[in-house]
Amino acid sequence: MKSITIKGSQRESVGKASTKALRNAGKVPCVLYGGDKPLHFSADEISFKNLVYTANVYTAMIELEGTTYHAILQDIQFHPVTDKILHVDFYQLFDDKLVTMEIPVRLVGVSPGVINGGSLRFAMRKLSVRALPADLPDFINADISKLKIGMKLVVAELADEKFSILHPENTVVVQVRTARSAVMPEDDEDEEGEEGAEEGAEESATEE
């Protein structure tokens, strides 16, 4: 998984007055959890632009006083009116410890069901994944190129040996529903015609 570098400064004081002063100076108070003890630091608000305001998911490389910490965004607080970032919590990553993250799902291919007028329902745009930091994917690819009208793709079909998806295997990720404008593909119509002919032949044989 790709990382965003955030250069910060450790905080000497964590009181309300110092926090307000930091925000007035365009900085965001932060805490890094997961290590021996919480580390309080601050970073320029602009540093979070590519980490927060994006549909993608990244880990963070936090540089503090010459030491770099690998972490993930755990929690973020916004101002209720201005949407400015008020506070950020990070969780430190270790190479040998599993971590859980919300990973975006990326649709791959073109659904024949959608081409025929079906309605695509993208139910799970993100999935909870548990893995070692080195195995965290940027995306989980969902191939919809075989989905005809009425078909669906479930979590079990997206399994990968490098990570675990923390949802029931039968959870629907994406499906193609019937729509008023939907057109039955010719091959499906042929199959139905053949089945109808077979049923008719059987009925005739029975009557005889």
**Residue 37 burial (C-beta neighbours within 10 Å; 0-12, 13-18, 19+):** exposed
Asked if the structure places residue 82 within a domain, the reply is yes
Looking at residue 72, which CATH number applies to its domain?
A: 2.40.240.10
Asked if the structure places residue 74 within a domain, the reply is yes
- Same structural domain for residues 109 and 160? yes
pLDDT in tens, 96-147: 999 999 999 999 999 999 999 999 999 999 999 999 999 999 999 999 999 9
Asked if the structure places residue 54 within a domain, the reply is yes
Query: How many independent structural domains does the chain possess?
Result: 2
Amino acid symbol at 39: L
Asked if the structure places residue 188 within a domain, the reply is no
Domain residues for 113? 100-183
Asked if the structure places residue 196 within a domain, the reply is no
At which of 39, 64, 93 does a domain end?
93
Give me the tens of pLDDT residue by residue for the chain, a chain 208 residues long: 999 999 999 887 777 888 888 888 889 999 999 988 999 999 999 999 889 988 899 999 999 988 999 999 999 999 899 889 999 999 999 999 999 999 999 999 999 999 999 999 999 999 999 999 999 999 999 999 999 999 999 999 999 999 999 999 999 999 999 876 656 665 555 544 454 445 444 444 444 4
Sign of the Cα torsion 97, 141, 50, 15 reads negative
